[in-house]
């Protein structure tokens, strides 16, 4: 697929905006789903800054809710493919997991169901490494995961809402795609960093901005596989353009970066900022995880290293991923420029 109209769900989000931009660069017409007109205006502004105002002629929006059937059928009329990006991501573990799980599972089911109703076959879906590297009994040491690995929720001692939602949504998507003969591809990003386009940026960028402004007083010992948002967006477009991607999963992960290394990269680039060197003891995170909260979201990565094979993802993209260091620095530059961190620091 080299042209046509693509429906992008969650067009106002961090990944969504970059995906819209990359689709427009590739010559597609884009219909973005948004939650409000103010979100639509932010996408228009981002598009204009990145690719110029002429691209706006190939962009329109529709207000839709993942948890309601209203408007989905009408929005898909005249659409050739769907890029399903929309997801609920929270910086803390919610007291009610359904706040996150509901939109992930029910929202995905709704998008695919209306695709079938309107005759759309081609779908590229944003998943996560959360659906790949958990529930395998990996608690110590290093392990490399591939697209052939699937998270086993039933084997996890500690789950968290995002992992449950994404895993169940992907399972449902593949089952539905098989039964309805949909042409599905899933993209599985790691921790998404990279340049924010405006203040509506992902909570994942707090890993960088919190260190820069000193609101992260101490770091956990774990690390994470980083991916730049520009690579994530480009992979969605590449998947649409390459028929060989149909029926495939693709990991979107560059370098494995310990939290302390993120701090070191920032410390070198911004020596005027006081960036913590303190670490939270593993025993404390393990204790806190029993009660939920932010510790629940990282407890499965404490004491081990989860690496993800980049070979297949880079093959789809046709080039190497942006390095973890460059993604971190691009994040830092953008959040400072946009005023998303405090400018004054104590040294």
Query: How is the chain split into domains, by residue range?
Result: 5-337
* Mean pLDDT over the full length of the chain: 92
CATH of 5-337, one of 1.10.8.60, 3.40.50.720, 2.40.50.140, 1.10.10.10: 3.40.50.720
Residue 95, pLDDT > 80, answer no
> How many of the other CB atoms lie within 10 Å of CB of 321?
23
Give 283's pLDDT tier (boundaries 50, 70, 90): confident
pTM of the model: 0.94
- Provide the percentage of residues in the chain whose pLDDT is more than 70: 97
**Per-position DSSP letters for 273-327, written without gaps between them:** S-----B--HHHHHHHHTT-SGGGGTGGGTTEEEEE--HHHHHHHTSPPPPHHHH
6-44: per-residue pLDDT in tens?
999 999 999 999 999 999 999 999 999 998 888 899 999
Give 344's pLDDT tier (boundaries 50, 70, 90): low
Nearest to 131 by CA among 98, 105, 157, 167: 167
Q: How far is Cα 28 from Cα 238, in angstroms, rounded to an integer? A: 12
């Amino acid at each position: 697929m080299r042209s046509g109209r693509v429906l992008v769900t969650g067009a106002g989000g961090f990944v969504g905006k970059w995906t819209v931009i990359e689709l427009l660069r590739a010559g597609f017409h884009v219909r973005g789903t948004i939650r409000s007109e103010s979100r639509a205006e932010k996408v228009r502004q981002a598009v204009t800054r990145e690719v110029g105002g002429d691209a706006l002629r190939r962009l329109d929006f529709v207000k839709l809710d993942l948890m309601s059937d209203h408007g989905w059928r009408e929005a898909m009329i005249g659409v050739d493919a769907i890029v399903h990006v929309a997801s609920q991501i929270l910086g803390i573990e919610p007291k009610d997991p359904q706040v996150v799980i509901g939109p992930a599972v029910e929202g995905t089911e709704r998008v695919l169901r209306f695709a079938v109703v309107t005759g759309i076959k081609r779908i590229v879906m944003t998943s996560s490494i959360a659906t790949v590297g958990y529930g395998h009994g990996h608690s110590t040491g290093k392990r490399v995961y591939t697209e052939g690995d699937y998270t086993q929720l039933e084997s996890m001692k500690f789950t968290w809402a995002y992992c449950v939602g994404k895993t169940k949504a992907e399972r449902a998507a593949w089952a539905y795609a098989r039964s309805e003969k949909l042409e599905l591809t899933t993209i599985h990003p790691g921790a998404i960093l990279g340049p924010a386009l405006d203040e509506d940026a992902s909570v994942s960028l707090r890993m960088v901005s919190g260190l820069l402004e000193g609101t992260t007083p101490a770091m956990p010992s774990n690390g994470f596989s980083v991916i730049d948002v520009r690579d994530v967006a480009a992979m969605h477009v590449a998947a649409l353009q390459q028929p060989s991607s149909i029926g495939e999963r693709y990991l979107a992960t560059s370098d494995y970066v310990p939290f302390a290394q993120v701090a070191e990269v920032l410390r070198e680039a911004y020596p005027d900022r006081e960036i913590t060197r303190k670490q939270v003891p593993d025993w404390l995170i393990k204790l806190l995880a029993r009660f939920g909260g932010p510790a629940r979201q990282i407890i499965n990565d404490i004491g081990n290293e989860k690496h993800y094979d980049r070979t297949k993802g880079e093959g789809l993209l046709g080039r190497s991923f942006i390095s973890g260091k460059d993604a971190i620095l691009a994040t830092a530059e953008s959040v400072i420029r946009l005023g998303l961190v405090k400018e004054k620091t104590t040294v």
